Structure 1
Amino acid sequence: MNYLMEDEDDFLSNDIVLSTAIHPSRASSPSHQRIGTGTIGTIFLMINATLGAGLLNFPEAFDKSGGLATAILAQLFFLLFITYTLVILASSSDVTNTTTLQNTFAGLCGSKSLFFCGLCIAVYSFGCCITFLIVIGDQFDRVFATYFGMDYCHTWYLSRPVVVSVASILFILPLSFFKRLDALNYASSIGCITILYVVWLIVYESFDHHKLPTKPMHIWPDRPTQVLEIVPIICFAYQSHMTAIPMYACMKNRQIGKFTLCAIVSSIICFFAYSTVGVFGYATFGIGKVPSDILQGYSDKSTTLTIAIIAIAIKNFTTYPIVLYCGRDSILSLFGKDVDCHFFIRFIITIVWFVLCLIIAVLVPDIAPVISFMGSLSAAFIFLFPGICLLQSTLKKDPQLYLNKDRFLIFIAVFIITLGAFVCGVIFVQALRDFEKAPVEPVQLITGYKSQFGASLCK
C-alpha cells in the first residue's frame, strides 16, 4: 500500500499551501519524466467532474435561498474553502507520496482509516453513478415524449430500460476501463462544451421569456435561515474532491503550483456557469415557480431545447467514468490492491459495478431519498477529509508547533473541520426532513415532467 511517509530530507516548506511537498529536484529529474495531462487538460477534467446535473437545480436553489444576492454570496463564501481544500488534498498526497484520497488519508491518519475512507468513496461513487444513469433516462424520456407522445414506451426500442442500457453500453462502458484519468481528458472537453451549450440555452430562454410579463425575484431573503437552503446544492454541485488527488497524480508536471492554478481557474469557471444558470433561470420563472430541473420547465418543442436535453445526457456519459474510476480504486484499496494490479481484476470490478448500477437505475428510477442522505458524504469530502489531512500533515511536520505558520494552519484546519461538521449536519437534517414528508402524489417517472404533460405518465 502506497501511503508510507517519505524521508524528511525530501520535504521542504511550501508557501503556496503552507504545507510540505516533494523536493522539486526529484520531480524534475530525468528519471522521473512523466506522461499525463497538461494544465488545460487538468482544467477540463476538473470542470467536467464538477459541473453536472447540479447545474439544473441551481435556479430553484436561488429561489429557495431567498434571492440572488444571498445565493451568490453564499457561493463565494463556500468557494474559497472548496478551492483551498482541493489544494490541501493535492499537497497532502505529496506528503504521503500517494495517488488516491483513501491512501493519502491512511498515510496521515493510520492504516486503519483506509477502510473507512475507501468505503465512503465507494458508497458515494456508486450512488453518483446510479444518479447519472437515472438522469440520462430522464433526458431521453423527455425527448421521446415530446416527439412520439406519451405512448412512446409501448414501443420496445424506445422504452427506458432498452434506451438507457444501449446508450450506457455504447458510450459509457468503453470509457470505464482506463487505468489513468488522463485518458479521459478529451472526453471531458466534450462534456465541458455540452454544458456551455446548456448555459447558453438557459440565457436565451430567459430573454425569449421577457416577451411575457416580468417575473418577480427576491434579492435578499425574508429570514436569515433561508440561506441554508442552498448549502446542500452547493456541496453537491462543487464536489470533485475525491477525484482531486487522482487528477493531480496524472498531471504531466506534478507541481502544487500548477494544480493550484487549475483549481482556481476551474472553480471560477464553474462559479460563473452555476451563477449564470441560477440568475437567468430564476428570472425566467420567478418566485416560487422555478422547477427542480430547469429544462423540464420549458414547454416548447424546439430543436435547440432538444439538443440541450441530449447535451445533459452526453455530459453524464463523460462524467460517469471519472466517478467509476475513483470508486473502483477505493474497492481495490480495500482488498490491498492498487491501480497497477492485473487488468482482469480491474475488468471484473468495472463490469460488476456497471451492471449493478444499470440494474438499479432501470428498476428503481427514484432513489432521491437515499441520494439526499448521501449529500452529507459530499460535504465530508469537501471539508472534513481535507481538514483532517491538513491537521495531521501539520502536526507531523511540527509536532510541538514551534512555528507561528503551523499554529495558524492548525487554526485553519480546525475551522474547516468545524465548518464541515456543521454543513454535514445541515444537509443530513434537511434530508431527514424531506424523507419524513409524506408524498402528496405518486412518484413520477420524470422529475418535474408532469407540469408539461399531465399526470398520466407512461408507467
Structure 2
Amino acid sequence: MATATIQSGTINLLNTIIGAGILAMPYGLKSNGLAFGLLLIVWSALTSSFGLYLQTKVSKYTDQQTAVSFFSLSKLTYPSLSVVFDAAIAIKCFGVGISYLVIIGDLMPKIVEALASGAADQWWNHRNTWISVFMIFVAPLSFLRKLDSLKYTSVVALFSVLYLICLVVFHYFFGEGSETSAPEIEWFGPISWRSTLRSFPIFVFAYTCHQNMFAIINELAIDANAGSKTRQSNHVIRNAIATACVSYTIVAVSGYLTFGSAVNGNIITMYPKNSMSSLVGRLCIVVMVALSFPLQCHPCRGSLNHVVYFIVEKFKRDPMISEEHDALIEDDSGADNSFVSTTPMEGAYDTAGHDPIVVPLTSRNFYYITTGIVVFSYLIAISITSLEHVLALVGSTGSTSISFVLPGLFGYLLIKPKPGQPATILEQFCKYGGLCLCLWGLLVMVVCLSATLFLGATH
C-alpha cells in the first residue's frame, strides 16, 4: 500500500517546511546583519537536516517498518515518556494549525477591501466569514488518511511560494515599492545579542517539518530504480531542505536589500497595498497557509490517538475490561485496514507480545479525533485574533523537541553496530552527533523561551 515517491515526499516535506515564516526572513537579516543572518539560515538548515537524517537512521531499529513514529521509538527507549512526546507534537501542530486560520482571518478582509470598496461592517469584511469559507474547503482535506494524498494541494501551495519569491525579487530589481533610494544595510553583523536573540526563533523554526518525516518514510514505496527507503528518504531530505534554504536566502536577501533597516516582520506589508501584484501575493499567502492546515492535522491526529490510548490504559483497572480491550486490539475489527497508516497506528505488537508499539486507530476514532481537531481549531480561531506569544511558547518547546531533542536522543540511544561487529565511523558520528543535536535542542529551547518571555520574541 506504500505508494509515495521521492517527488511526492519532497513536495509534502517542502510544503511542511515553508510557511508564513518565509515572510519574516528579511527581518531576520535586519536583526543580525547580512552575512551573520545568512550564516544562521544555513546553520539552521544543517541542524534541521541532520535531525531528519537521524529519523531515517533510527527508523530501521524497529520492526514496524511501515509504521514508525516517535511513539514506537519511545517504546524502545523511554516508554513512560511516550505520552509526553506525543502531547508535545499534538499541541504544537494544533497551535500552528490555528495560527494558519488566524492568518486567513487577518488577510482576507484586507484583500477584499482593496478589491471592492464597501462599508466596513459588510459580511465580506469580517474575519470570521473568511475563516468559515476556507474551512469549508480545508476540512475535507483533513480527513484524507494518507499524507501522500496531499501532494497535489502541496503543489498548489508551493506555486504560491514561488510567486512570493518572484514578487520580492521583482521589487528588488525594479525598485517598485521601496520608499528609500539608499536603504541602510548592515553587511556583516551581528548587530547586538538582544536583536539576535529576538530573531533567533525565526531561523530555528523555519525548517520545522520533523513531525511528518516518519509519515513520509512509512509511505515511500520500495522501487528498484529509486533504491531502498533509506536512500529515498535521504533524497527527500536533501531536496526539501536545499530548496527551502535557497528560497529563504532569496527572499531574505532581496527583501532586506530593498528596504534595509526599514523592513518589518512581514515583507508583504512593505509593498503598495493597492498594487495588484501585492494583492495577489497576499492571496498566495492565504492559499499557502490554508493548504498547509491538513499537513498539521495529520501528525496531530496520530499523536492525539497515542495520548488517548495512554490515558485509557493508565486509568483502566478492571481486568475484564482489560482483557476485552486487548482482544479488540488483537482483532482490530473496528480498524480500516485498507490503507497504510502514516502516523503509525496499525495494531502491531513487539515480538515478545508486550504492549503494542504501534497504537491501532479505528475508523471511529479516526473520524472523532479529526472532527475534534477541525472543530476546535475553527472555534478557537474565530474567538481570538492573536496567538503570537502562545505560539512562541509552544514553538519553543514543541518545535524544538520534535526537530532536535527527540531525533538526537533516539539517535544516541538506538544507533549501534551490528552484533559482533565494531562500530563504523558513520555510526559513531550519528550516535554522538545525535547527542550533540539533543544538547543543542535543549540550549535552543532555553534561548527561545527566554527570548519569548523577556525580549518579546514571537513565533
Q: Is the 8 A contact 1:126 1:357 kept in 2?
A: yes
Q: Does 1:258 align with 2:232?
A: yes
For 1:327-342, list aligned pairs within 5 A: 327-336=300-309, 338=345, 341-342=361-362
Q: Measure the CA separation in 1 of the matches of 2:425 and 2:241.
A: 29
Give the counterpart of 2:113 among 140, 145, 157.
Answer: 145
Quick one: which amino acid aligns to residue 341 of structure 1? L
- Determine what percentage of the aligned residue pairs are the same residue: 21
Match of 1:248 among 217, 222, 227: 217
Aligned AA (2:10) = I
Shift of 1:434: 4.0
The counterpart of 1:414, out of the listed 425, 432, 435, is 435
Q: 1:214 deviation in Å?
A: 2.1
The residue that corresponds to 2:379 in the other structure is: 359
* C-alpha spacing 1:70/1:404, structure 2 compared with 1 (3 Å): closer
Which deviates more from structure 2 when the two are superposed, residues 228-237 or residues 36-45?
228-237
Q: CA deviation at 1:384?
A: 0.5
Asked if 1 retains the 8 angstrom alpha-carbon contact of 2:108 and 2:283, the reply is yes
Residue among 382, 401, 409 paired with 2:403: 382
- Do residues 158 (structure 1) and 102 (structure 2) align? no
Residues 188, 319 of structure 1: 8 Å contact kept: yes
Confirm whether residue 69 of structure 1 aligns to residue 35 of structure 2. yes
Distance in 2 between residues matched to 1:354 and 1:139, nearest whole Å: 20
Amino acid across the alignment from 2:254: F
Q: In 1, Cα distance between the equivalents of 2:260 and 2:191?
A: 19
Offset, 1:407 = 4.2
Rounded Cα–Cα distance in structure 2 between residues aligned with 1:221 and 1:409: 32
Q: Which position in structure 2 is the counterpart of 1:180?
A: 146
Once the two structures are TM-superposed, the CA of residue 223 in structure 1 deviates from its matched residue by: 4.4
Counterparts of 2:97 and 2:417, CA distance in 1: 36
Q: What's the CA shift for 1:382?
A: 1.3
CA contact (8 A) 1:181 1:325 kept: yes
Contact 2:58/2:415 (CA < 8 Å) preserved in 1?
Answer: no
Following superposition of structure 1 onto structure 2, how do residues 309-324 of structure 1 map, counting pairs within 5 Å?
309-324=282-297
CA distance in 1 between counterparts of 2:250 and 2:384 reads 33
SS at match of 2:385: coil
Name which of structure 1's ranges 93-102 and 222-231 shifts more when overlaid on structure 2. 222-231
Instruction: Read off the aligned partner of 1:273 and give its amino acid letter.
Output: S
| Cα deviation, residue 117, structure 1 | 0.8
Distance 2:233 2:13 in 1: 10
Alignment-derived partner of residue 164 in structure 2: 198
Query: Secondary structure at 2:435's aligned position in 1?
Result: helix
Q: Distance in 1 between matches of 2:258 and 2:429?
A: 45
DSSP 3-state at the match of 2:113: helix
Question: 2:55 aligns to what?
Answer: 89
Task: Tell me how far 1:411 sits from its aligned partner.
Answer: 2.4
- Tell me the TM-score normalised to structure 2 length: 0.82
Change beyond 3 A, Cα 1:143–1:123: same
Residue 208 of structure 2, aligned match among 234, 239, 264: 239
Distance 1:38 1:362, change over 3 A: same
Alpha carbons 2:36, 2:190 under 8 Å: kept: no
Cα distance in 2 for residues equivalent to 1:409 and 1:104: 20
Partner of 1:30: none
More deviation, 111-120/229-238: 229-238
In the alignment, structure 1 residue 208 sits paired with structure 2 residue 174? yes
Q: CA deviation at 1:89?
A: 0.8
What is the distance in 2 between the residues matched to 1:413 and 1:357? 34
Give distance in 2, aligned partners of 1:426 and 1:45. 30
Q: Aligned-pair distance for 1:335?
A: 2.7
Unaligned stretches of 5+ residues in structure 1? 1-33, 438-446, 448-459
Q: Does the residue aligned with 1:335 lie in a helix, a strand or coil?
A: helix
Cα deviation, residue 135, structure 1: 1.1
Distance apart, 1:299 and its partner CA: 2.2
Query: Residue 396 of structure 1: CA displacement?
Result: 8.4
| Deviation at residue 228 of structure 1 after TM alignment | 3.9
1:127/1:371 contact within 8 Å kept: yes
Please give the alpha-carbon distance, in whole angstroms, between the structure 2 residues aligned to 1:371 and 1:185. Answer: 26
* Matching of residue 326 in structure 1 with residue 347 in structure 2: no
- Cα distance, 1:134 vs. partner? 0.8
Q: How does 1:8-47 map to 2 (within 5 A)?
A: 34-47=1-14
Amino acid across the alignment from 2:388: A
Task: Note the C-alpha offset of 1:190.
Answer: 1.1
Distance 2:365 2:444 in 1: 37
Please, which of 115, 122, 129 is the counterpart of residue 90 of structure 2?
122
Residue number among 245, 255, 274 corresponding to 2:248 in the alignment: 274
Q: Any gaps of 5 or more consecutive residues in structure 2?
A: 223-227, 310-328, 330-344, 347-359
Contact between 2:2 and 2:218, CA under 8 Å: does it hold in 1? no
Which sits farther off after the overlay, 222-231 or 292-301?
222-231
| TM-score where L is the length of structure 1 | 0.82
Name the CA distance, whole Å, in 1 between partners of 2:190 and 2:426: 41
